[in-house]
Chain A
Amino acid sequence: MPASKNPRPKTVPKSFRIDESAIVAVEKEAAAQQVSPNTLVNQILTQFSEFERFAKRISTVKPSSFVFRGILEAADVDKIIELAKTAGSSIPQAFVTAKSGRVDIDSLLDHLRTLALYAHLYEYSENLDPRGQVITMIHDFGLNWSIFLVHYITAMFEQMGVSPKLEMSDRSVILSLPGK
């Protein structure tokens, strides 16, 4: 179910030559997780196709959660807000344009889902009904991360002329969008 789109995507047989050390590592990990090497290889390639190949275009780095939390705690709130506004008005657009070739509400929401799936920036929950869509992002990076997310998402949707309702606490951000 990569990026919440297609629960059972079509699979095709392919043959590749792979470095022996790499496949040994995959087989070892597959055994530890009690899944087939096929499942693991498929998920490695899906992560590359859905996230990594676009993330590198925006020079993504991967600090540990401990370091990330520490940097956020040490940062000045005004600087975080300024950074969030700048990032939110450019990064999501660059990411979704590279990925889907279009910028619209659905592709921006897919960006938020993708950040939960592959970047571990929060846990993500969405409820969709005729009244609209409510998305909850839960994290343990502290209040400054919630502040960043609120301003990042606001700037992201401003580009589309949309002003969603946003609420936050020190460990969650709730985004509400009215029904179409």
Chain B
Amino acid sequence: MKQSAVELQPVGNAIFSLYTLGRSSCSGLERKLKKLPGITEVYVDYVADVVEVKFDPSKIKSEEIRSQMKKLGAGT
């Protein structure tokens, strides 16, 4: 039987804690993160104080997202 070739695209998923990022509020973070290249979905959980991000690992790494979150957090 001939098998269909389905190519699996690289997928990244990361969960960041707002505690360790030193942010007490995540206001506006979702909108700002979505503007970054390679980020496909952002979900902010205001109860668990975490941000979950889906991304294309060929375009952005989780360390870069973390670093961007720290920058975006400053001044908000």
Contact = CB atoms under 8 A, between A and B. Distances in A.
A82 interface: no
Contacts of B45: 2, 43, 46-47, 117
B11 interface: yes
Interface string A1-38: 11010010000000000000000000001101111000
Q: In the complex, which range does the number of interface residues on chain B fall in? A: 20 to 34
Interface of A: 1-2, 4, 7, 29-30, 32-35, 39-40, 43-44, 46-47, 65, 113, 116-118, 120, 123-130, 136, 140, 179
Given A123-B15, A126-B12, A130-B7, A117 B50 contact: yes
A33 B8 contact: no
A27 B23 CA distance: 20
B15 A129 contact: no
A128 B11 contact: yes
A160 to B, nearest CB: 21
Given A43-B47, A120-B19, A126 B41 contact: no
B47 A44 contact: yes
Given A1-B41, A33-B26, A136-B62, A117 B48 contact: yes
